[in-house]
Amino acid sequence: MKQSVYEVLSNEKIAKDVFKMILIGDTDAITAPGQFINIKIDGYFLRRPISVCDWDDKSITIIYKVVGAGTSVMSKMAKGDTLDILVGLGNGYNTSKSGADPLLVGGGVGVPPLYGLCKRLVAEGKKPTVVLGFNSADDVFYEDEFKALGADVYVATADGSYGEKGFVISVISRLDYSFFYTCGPEPMFRAMAKVMKTDGQYSFEERMGCGFGACMGCSCKTLTGNKRICREGPVMESGEIIWND
């Protein structure tokens, strides 16, 4: 974990209420795809935790949805604006578990961290297949970016206005894979938990206080003990999750 000030390089709308922001600054603290950053926004007390979509040695890309007042302020930021951010939070995905043909499943704003993951899996010589689920055509983003990495990409929309009509589950059921990684809404996770054919890693979301393990605001119970989503998570192994209905 590191705290530093980052400069906004760009901040553009890429889908309905969804923005892509590139931040320039120290990225040393990021060690794995699926980690997140926690952003201080002027006028708001708590930071906003946002997953890292991609990073290199001097920039961080995040994709966020405007869901409230804080993210609305972020959406109006422009090149040259600065943000106080805690970087390198959470455990992230473990690519060593992937096998040769990993499956990546993203739902809505759960898609972004899978991009950085896909990039690293490809760099490691693996052949990822990506399934992206959105509500509607207006919500779809990053299909081409995943394709550009060389992944097989399937898109499903709930209303059928783009790609395959329905949920990611119907696409997944036709695929073979060596391991899976996912990020998205919990109803999607619950549906997946019943049908997935291999082990995998799920990335969870929770209201957080600090985002770095101090407040115990985002704890959950697992089969391997209590975990803080912000610290021992957000990524959990399929075999340790307790699915409360």
Partner 1 sequence: MERLNVSLCGINLDNPVIPASGTFGYGYEFAELYDINILGTLSFKGTTKGPRFGNPTPRIAECTSGMINSVGLQNPGVDKVISEELPKLKKCFDKKVMANVSGFSIDDYVYTCERLDDIDEIGWLEVNISCPNVHGGGMSFGTDPKAAASVTKAVKSAVKKPVIIKLTPNVTDIVSIAKACEDEGADGLSLINTMMGMRINLKTKKPVIANKMGGFSGPAIFPVALRMVYQVYEAVNIPIIGMGGIASAEDVVEMMLAGATACEIGAMNLVDPMICKKIIEDLPEVMDKYGIKNLESIIGGAHNG
> In this chain, which of 161, 198, 219, 222 binds partner 1, going by CB under 8 A?
219
Nearer to partner 1 by C-beta: 186 or 199?
A: 186
Pick from 243, 240, 217, 244: nearest CA to 230? 217
Relative to beta strand 180-183, strand 103-107 is: parallel
Cα 43 from Cα 69, distance rounded (Å): 10
> In this chain, which of 99, 166, 185, 217 binds partner 1, going by CB under 8 A?
217
Q: How far is the CB of 219 from partner 1 (least distance, A)?
A: 6
Q: How far is the CB of 235 from partner 1 (least distance, A)?
A: 17
Pick from 72, 174, 95, 161: nearest CA to 131? 174
Please give the angle made by the CA atoms of 211, 213 and 217, to the nearest 5 degrees: 70
Q: How far is the CB of 116 from partner 1 (least distance, A)?
A: 22
Nearer to partner 1 by C-beta: 148 or 215?
A: 215
Q: Counting contacts by CB under 8 A, is residue 183 touching partner 1? A: no
Sheet holding 180-183, edge to edge: 164-165, 152-157, 129-134, 103-107, 180-183, 200-203, 235-237
Q: How far is the CB of 218 from partner 1 (least distance, A)?
A: 6
Q: Counting contacts by CB under 8 A, is residue 187 touching partner 1? A: no
3-state secondary structure of 160: coil
Cα 213 from Cα 170, distance rounded (Å): 37
3-state secondary structure of 17: coil
- Residues 197 to 216: which contact partner 1 by CB under 8 A? 206-210, 212-216
Contacts of residue 224, defined as CB under 8 A and 6 or more positions apart, other chains included, come to 237, 240
Q: How far is the CB of 166 from partner 1 (least distance, A)?
A: 26
Each residue 34-73 as x (binds partner 1 by CB under 8 A) or -, in order, gives ------x---xxxx--------------------------
Q: How far is the CB of 49 from partner 1 (least distance, A)?
A: 11
Nearer to partner 1 by C-beta: 87 or 114?
A: 87
User: Residue 187, class by beta-carbon neighbours within 10 Å (0-12 exposed, 13-18 middle, 19+ buried)?
Assistant: exposed
Q: Are 211 and 230 in contact (CB under 8 A)?
A: yes
Nearer to partner 1 by C-beta: 190 or 197?
A: 190
Nearer to partner 1 by C-beta: 72 or 173?
A: 72
Q: Are 239 and 98 in contact (CB under 8 A)?
A: no
- Residues 22 to 41: which contact partner 1 by CB under 8 A? 40
Q: What is the largest CA-CA distance in the chain?
A: 48
Nearer to partner 1 by C-beta: 100 or 214?
A: 214
Site residues for partner 1 per CB under 8 A: 1-3, 40, 44-47, 86, 206-210, 212-221, 226, 231
